[in-house]
Structure 1
Amino acid sequence: MLRKLREEVLDAALNLMKYKLITLTGGNVSGRDIETGYIAITPSGMDYEKLLPEDIVIIDIEGNTVEAKWKPSVDTSDHLYIYKHKPEVQSIIHTHSTYASCFAVLNQEIPCASTTLANEVGGTVPLAKYAPVASGDIGPTVVETIGDKRACLLANHGVMAVGPSVRHALVAAVMLEDAAKVYHLAKSIGTPVLLPDSEIQKAKDVFLNIYGQDK
């Protein structure tokens, strides 16, 4: 069932390891099938490098098991809450990427000082208030905070990235970490110059409408 979506979710999870956005079994990835509404999500506490597409769990929007060999991610309820309240979101990726998480534990948003951050994330990265893991409260804090951005920080925790596809959510997570690293290093040298809103919008428009190949 949903073989292609399962492959996309697993590929994204493996790429999180490749780009060093997670360690061991940390983080999670999910994607929503537009036709059925079913969710494909990584299983809880398992080594991504040992997974096959059929190990990815399929559930419905209420969290009922549709097809699965394993328990879904411990953050499943948060993914489902976001999907229910953000119909434009078709994928969610949670990471503990190092540089972005530095700002999360400082309880500071990441200002937009680079076109990289403007492109796929959409500008300054907001900070969602602290919510305990597996409490079911992370999803609501993300929905309250993220707005039209494609990522937000989770206070004292990590990152939640979203997108209209698994690929877009992955790109948002990777670009966020790259931009967080650049901003952190720039601050160690001096004071980063922030982009004005007009330039952030221009960068977003280029990335969404010009960058890449026509299909």
Structure 2
Amino acid sequence: MSILTMPAVREAVDALRVSVADLHAELTRNSLVVWTAGNVSARVPGEELLVIKPSGVTYDQLTADVMVVTDFEGRLVEGSHAPSSDTAAAGYVYAHLPEVGGVVHTHSTYATAWCARREPIPCVLTMMADEFGGDIPIGPFAMIGDDSIGRGLVQTLAGTRSKAVLMGGHGPFTVGPDARAAVKTAVMLEDVARTVHVASQLGNPWRLDQADIDRLYDRYQNVYGQKGTPTS
């Protein structure tokens, strides 16, 4: 019997198909992608499965029934389309970082410009300290299509509090406890990437003191917002 016929798994997958399809609309609404670039994926809780956008399908065609289900090695489990070329990379992240429930990849203009420069974005703004806990790091260049990008992401995330990585020569990836949180981080990443770029044209932005970064991060992660409501 297929694991997808188990009622609890079936219900979870069907719900994720809807939410992942809807979240792709946030990428276009926030101008983080063009044409068929980028993707959102979500872990199926308790299973070595993920839901992700299919490869090369335009955003206006991304309905729940078009989403595909794969295992963590990128093998198709359910769906009639080939999975995104980033599927194995996302699967590697899920396999090695159990706290991650969502992975997002975009080619948003300003964040990708920092990727092209292979330069971290320095933590010069309180919003960066809040969301990212410090500088937004550069990850290594890696070829698309297998788990190489995932390896670079896991390696880079291990040394930072940031939930965003600027993969060198490629584009930004963000992670979160669920797909919605990862999309929120992608939106905030592009905003701060643009602001710090503009500030850099005016002079040399001042990095916040590390002690202030730590206090801001702790406040935002543990105090900010309504009790019991995630900051995403």
TM range (shorter): over 0.9
In structure 1, what is the equivalent of residue 186 of structure 2? 173
CA distance in 1, matches of 2:224, 2:80: 40
In structure 2, what is the equivalent of residue 87 of structure 1? 98
8 Å CA contact 2:76–2:82 kept in 1: the answer is no
In structure 2, what is the equivalent of residue 13 of structure 1? 24
CA distance in 2, matches of 1:49, 1:196: 44
Gaps of 5+ in 2: 1-9
TM value normalised by structure 1: 0.94
- Give 1 or 2 for the bigger CA radius of gyration: 2
In structure 2, what is the equivalent of residue 200 of structure 1? 213
CA RMSD of aligned residues (A): 1.4
Task: State percent identity of aligned pairs.
Answer: 38
1:37-77 Cα shifts (integer Å, max 9, x gaps)? 42011110111222211211112223333321211101111
In structure 1, what is the equivalent of residue 174 of structure 2? 161
8 Å CA contact 2:33–2:107 kept in 1: the answer is yes
Task: Give the length in aligned residue pairs.
Answer: 215
8 Å CA contact 1:163–1:169 kept in 2: the answer is yes
CA distance in 2, matches of 1:9, 1:109: 29
**SS of alignment partner, residue 212 of structure 1:** coil
CA distance in 2, matches of 1:207, 1:3: 33
**2:214 corresponds to which letter in structure 1?**
Q
Alpha-carbon deviation of 1:135? 4.5
CA distance in 2, matches of 1:40, 1:203: 34
CA distance in 1, matches of 2:71, 2:140: 27
CA distance in 1, matches of 2:63, 2:50: 17
- Residues 1:52 and 2:28 are matched in the alignment: no
Matches within 5 A, 1:22-171: 22-147=33-158, 148-171=161-184
In structure 1, what is the equivalent of residue 4 of structure 2? none
Q: 1:127 to 1:176 in 2, by over 3 A?
A: same
